[in-house]
């Protein structure tokens, strides 16, 4: 289900915005870079004898995808965002758009065979099963289960661990957090790392679901994921995933029941966002972002 992918990407948006109130429009490209990193290890590094073994190929693809996405995200934070942390908000926003375009073009120019669309291996069975007359692909079930499991794991991490408490303290008041001995820079980097890892998993999941990727998948998916984060309630982990699932359902229903729905499915997703925000500006589950002076 595409909504689960949106939800995973949205977690990165909502965490970064919740802590440093930055709309990281380059986060969609972190998702794209992770997908290409996973494809690269499968296509060029794994021996042929291992590519058919899902218990070897899938962990290898996910691991490399996460490493690549995390490396790019950490460099992005250190070189592009940290120097602008105290600048007017428009400056990092424009920088994020520039980083997004840079990453798109970097992948387009430097990926080995230079094609826009790349075939992605279907590491999970392409089979289906029926539920109440509805045909459900196994890979969709896998994607949904992974998304829900990661959401629960992230909730536990943020609420129960020392680092999670430091993240919440930094989100509420960075200056007070520094006075309490919290390394704010370290917390922000960890936030980017977690968001990048989740985006990389989403990239691999989407590649398996559609059996192909291209260097432009990050832009529209990232925009919809940000929409999902706002829809569910920016700063709200559960809301981000819920918003992603709702967008996925809206797109599926528009494609199925609205005339020419496949051409207008993106429009309907944003129509729902506008309708919800008119009625409930804080999102469905409410914002969880501290108000700073």
The pLDDT value given to residue 236: 85
Structure pTM? 0.91
- Cβ(37)–Cβ(69) under 8 Å? yes
- Cβ(212)–Cβ(119) under 8 Å? yes
Residues of the chain with pLDDT under 70: 1-2, 113-114, 126, 129-135, 260-261, 287-293
Whole-angstrom distance, CA of residue 208 vs CA of residue 1: 11
The pLDDT value given to residue 211: 86
The pLDDT value given to residue 261: 63
Q: Which phi and psi angles does 137 have, rounded to 5°?
A: -70, 145
Distance (Å) of CA 260 to CA 23, 217, 247:
33, 22, 18
Whole-angstrom distance, CA of residue 13 vs CA of residue 175: 22
The pLDDT value given to residue 23: 85
- Cβ(25)–Cβ(226) under 8 Å? yes
Measure CA of the first residue to CA of the last residue in the chain; give whole Å: 40
| Residue 250 Cα to chain centre, angstroms | 19
pLDDT in tens, 228-277: 888 888 878 888 899 888 888 888 887 777 776 677 777 877 787 788 77
Task: Spell out where 83-240 has E strands.
Answer: 117-119, 128-131, 134-137, 212-214
- Cβ(5)–Cβ(209) under 8 Å? yes
The pLDDT value given to residue 64: 96
The pLDDT value given to residue 202: 94
Distance (Å) of CA 123 to CA 53, 54, 133, 142:
9, 6, 26, 11
Structure tokens of 121? 């291996």
Domains and CATH numbers, the chain: 2-279 (1.10.3470)
């Amino acid at each position: 289900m595409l909504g689960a992918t949106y939800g995973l990407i949205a977690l990165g948006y909502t965490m970064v915005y919740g802590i440093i109130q930055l709309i990281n429009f380059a986060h969609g490209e972190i998702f794209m870079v992770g997908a290409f990193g996973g494809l690269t290890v499968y296509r060029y590094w794994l021996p042929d004898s291992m590519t058919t073994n899902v218990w070897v190929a899938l962990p290898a693809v996910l691991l490399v995808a996460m490493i690549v996405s995390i490396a790019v995200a950490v460099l992005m934070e250190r070189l592009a965002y940290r120097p602008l942390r105290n600048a007017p908000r428009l400056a990092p926003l424009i920088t994020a758009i520039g980083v997004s375009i840079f990453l798109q073009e970097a992948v387009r120019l430097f990926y080995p065979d230079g094609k826009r669309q790349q075939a992605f291996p279907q590491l999970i069975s392409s089979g289906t099963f029926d539920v109440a007359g509805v045909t459900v692909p196994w890979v969709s079930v896998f994607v949904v289960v992974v998304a829900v499991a990661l959401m629960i794991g992230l909730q536990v991490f943020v609420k129960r661990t020392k680092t999670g408490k430091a993240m919440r303290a930094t989100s509420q008041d960075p200056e007070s957090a520094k006075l309490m001995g919290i390394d704010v820079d370290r917390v922000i980097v960890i936030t980017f790392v977690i968001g990048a890892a989740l985006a990389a998993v989403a990239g691999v999941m989407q590649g398996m679901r559609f059996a192909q990727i291209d260097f432009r998948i990050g832009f529209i998916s990232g925009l919809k994921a940000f929409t999902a984060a706002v829809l569910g309630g920016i700063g709200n982990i559960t809301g981000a995933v819920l918003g992603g699932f709702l967008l996925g359902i809206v797109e599926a229903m528009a494609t199925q029941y609205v005339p020419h729905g496949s051409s207008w499915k993106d429009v309907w997703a944003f129509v729902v966002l506008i309708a919800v925000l008119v009625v409930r500006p804080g999102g469905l589950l409410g914002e969880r972002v501290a108000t700073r002076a």
